[in-house]
Amino acid sequence: MSPALPEEAPEPPELPAVAPQLRALRRRASLTLEAAAGTAGLSPAHLSRLETGQRQPSLPMLLALARTYGTTVSELLGEAPADRDAVVRAGTMEATEAGGWTYVQAGASGRGMQALRVHVPYGAQGDIVRVHPGEEWLYVLEGRLRLRLGDTSYRLGPGDSAHFDSLTPHRIAAADTGGSELLFVHTLLQSPTTALCLGGMS
């Protein structure tokens, strides 16, 4: 369980008023004030003050509430989403390398769910433990993969997949010298590709 967020966090003046959005999104998610507050690690009284504009949320609160309501921080702030193409053509996909891994964006950027094609070389980042908010789903296309979730280790081959809460400490490494090729979907809110492989280390 995630630790409760501090009730009286500093109120950043640069954040726009989000009260109407917070209440509307909670109701859209069919959550009571008590249920939403408990999931986000807030007291019902504090969430009520956020919804009535008596307080402005901190960034950690926004992240927790966005996860609770199944949305993005941008939507919580009332920002209109940019027009995005539903289809991503192969010719427009650009590879990015970070920490030895190679990422190819396989979906539109700026959404709450990000899709990537990932090449994991043998011996790259296998000792990195990742812990961060969100969910992850991966599907092995080629090669074999070593996945450690908490205290349990798995070996995945082509066609195998895994779906897990990324607050569970996890490690990902290629099991074959030729590396492994994955389809990877995550809900790490508004994170760039490089943060996915390098951030959240412990």
- Give φ, ψ of 139 to 5 degrees: -135, 125
Q: Which long-range CB contacts under 8 A does 27-36 form with residues at least 24 apart?
A: 28/69, 29/68, 29/69, 29/70, 31/68, 31/69, 36/65, 36/68, 36/69
Average pLDDT of the residues of the chain: 78
Summarize the confidence of residues 145-169 as an average pLDDT: 94
At 112 the pLDDT is 67
8 Å CB contact between 37 and 44: yes
Give the single-character DSSP code of 142. Answer: E
At 146 the pLDDT is 96
Alpha-carbon distance 81 to 4, whole Å? Answer: 30
Alpha-carbon distance 104 to 92, whole Å? Answer: 10
Q: What is the pTM of this model?
A: 0.56
